[in-house]
């Protein structure tokens, strides 16, 4: 195959996309096609008018448009505050999970927020247990080494 012929599969069919022919590295990373560039240019000119019209439609009672605008304006996540006990060891996570459940029961936090917090607390407990097991294992290995040497 010469350097300008189309790359082919072992079946003899031409390959699509990569690998490119020698000397053709393809489109630069991050580059956009002509349609996208034209669309962006047209939108840039009408951006303010379109936004005003969307707001006008939403204010007239169009619920889907209102939802569309609010989904893009309001933050997706919010900062939450739950009083959690200090975590000194893995057993403290039980009290922390209890506080999270109380927060959901009182309406202070949403269930999906509680799930995220519980995952965080679970990760802490696992990390603490792993660190504790490493310390205990190191201690046992030192004791075993002393018995062997001594």
For residues 126 and 22, the model is more confident at: 126
Query: Residue 97 above 90 pLDDT?
Result: yes
Residue among 75, 76, 74, 94 at smallest CA distance from 84: 94
Helix and strand totals (H; E) in the chain? 4, 0
Q: How far apart are the first and last CA of the chain?
A: 73
Confidence of residue 9 (pLDDT cuts 50, 70, 90): low
Pick 16 or 144 by higher pLDDT.
Answer: 144
* 15: confidence class by pLDDT, cuts 50, 70, 90: low
Contact of 93 with 87, CB cutoff 8 Å = yes
Instruction: Check: CB of residue 55 under 8 Å from CB of residue 72.
Output: no
Q: What integer best gives the mean pLDDT of the chain? A: 84
Q: Is pLDDT at 26 greater than 60 in this prediction?
A: yes
Tell me the pTM.
0.47
Q: Are 7 and 15 in contact (CB under 8 A)?
A: yes
> 38 falls in which pLDDT band (50, 70, 90)?
confident
């Amino acid at each position: 195959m010469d350097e300008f012929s189309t790359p082919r599969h072992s079946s003899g069919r031409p390959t699509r996309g990569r690998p490119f022919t020698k000397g053709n590295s393809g489109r630069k990373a991050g580059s956009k096609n002509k349609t996208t560039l034209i669309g962006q240019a047209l939108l840039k000119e009408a951006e303010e008018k379109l936004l005003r019209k969307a707001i006008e439609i939403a204010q007239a009672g169009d619920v889907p448009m209102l939802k569309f605008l609010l989904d893009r304006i309001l933050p997706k996540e919010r900062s939450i505050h739950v009083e959690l006990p200090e975590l000194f060891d893995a057993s403290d996570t039980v009290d922390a999970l209890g506080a999270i459940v109380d927060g959901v029961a009182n309406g202070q936090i949403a269930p999906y927020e509680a799930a995220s917090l519980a995952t965080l607390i679970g990760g802490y407990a696992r990390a603490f247990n792993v660190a504790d097991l490493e310390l205990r294992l190191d201690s046992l290995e030192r004791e075993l080494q002393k018995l062997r040497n001594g």
